[in-house]
Structure 1
Amino acid sequence: MTKPNLLVIDDDKIYHFLVSRILDDVKAGEQFSEIHKFFSGSSALTHLKENQNSERKLILLDLNMPGMSGFEFLEALDKYEDVHKHCTVYIVTSSVNESDRARADEFSIVKGYLVKPLKKSAIENLIAQEVR
């Protein structure tokens, strides 16, 4: 099985720093072909559209972002079947609102819902499920 690409989409610089530390700890460079970090859903969507290929993409997506929210990103991604079919999304959010979780479950590409702060064990479990 080929290694997937990892996309981290979140507007928070501190979150990106913490995720980078966790990814370093779990040797994510060995687990993923490439790791991309985006501070907006729109920049991640542009990247995905410009890099349409058959490589698997694992996406860690925040819901609450300015500009394009995580839900708006998912709705936009749904329109691009050639990209969408290669993506698996895990929501990573501070929202514990059940309506957010239920709405996320409506999207077929959303495989999990993780609540911040993200822990190393959550990334290890995700790698075990999606990479190995």
Structure 2
Amino acid sequence: MSQENKKYTIQNSPFIVPTTDGKVIKEHFGMATDGNSKVSIAHMIAPSGWSEPFQTPEFDEYTFIISGKKQFIIEGDTVVLEAGQSIKIKKNTRVQYSNPFSEACEYIAICKPAFSIDLVNRED
């Protein structure tokens, strides 16, 4: 059966997003991998001490923690998630992601519509 006619797609070679902060981002489905603008799914590892600037994304973001802990500052509220917990942050919500903890945090991020640098609206 040709790839176009298949009812499923197995992703064996996710797009590895180049970073300068030690974070590992492997996009399995989304804009960079298969051109899908409706949803993106990425496997991430945020090292100890990692953080991003505040941002106000134009997409809903779902995060599921596999191991470690991740800190979220959401509209002024500080939330810490641990392994087995998940969160949905609605689009157009100001948020900052970080890992101020001693161990790396491994997690899955799902963005709907798909993550795009043009839609994340990071602050300087």
| TM-score, with length taken from structure 2 | 0.30
- Higher normalized contact order (CA 8 Å, seq sep 6+, divided by chain length): 2
Q: Give the helix-richer structure, 1 or 2.
A: 1
Which of these two proteins has the greater Rg computed from alpha carbons? 2
Structure 1 or 2: more strand by fraction: 2
